[in-house]
Amino acid sequence: MEVKMRNLKTIEKKVRAVLEKNEDARNDDMVLYLALCNACLKDAGAMPLAEIMTQHKYLGLPSFESVSRTRRKLQARYPELAGSRPVQKMRATGEKAYRRYAKE
């Protein structure tokens, strides 16, 4: 449990650094994940997507879901790292739709 928590804190620092530098990453989780992979592994952007997605643990890359969850947490805590207004509205609408779906 301790190791997982430490890994999440490391992911949080890396995600925050990307969000602070890359405004496009604030609006798009795929852009965020690519930037994070490139920060963690040199030339990750040149690797086939299938290799990154299936070998992320072996390559030392965090899972896409961990990065997405961390982005949501950081954007809730630090409004200056939030996406653009249209993206914020779209995400809020999507969240409402998902909550309705989850209750079915």
Q: What pLDDT is attached to residue 99?
A: 87
Q: What pLDDT is attached to residue 100?
A: 87
The tens-digit pLDDT sequence of the chain (104 residues) is: 554 556 667 899 999 999 999 999 999 999 999 999 999 998 888 999 999 989 999 998 999 999 999 999 999 999 999 989 999 888 888 888 888 898 88
Global pTM?
A: 0.82
The total number of residues shown for the chain amounts to: 104
Q: What pLDDT is attached to residue 38?
A: 93
The H-or-E segment that residue 25 falls in is helix 23-27
Find all residues with CB under 8 Å of 39, minimum gap 6, and list them. 14, 17, 18
CB 15 within 8 A of CB 33: no
The beta-carbon contacts of 39-48 under 8 Å, at least 24 apart in sequence, are 39/14, 40/14
CB atoms within 10 A of CB 102: 7
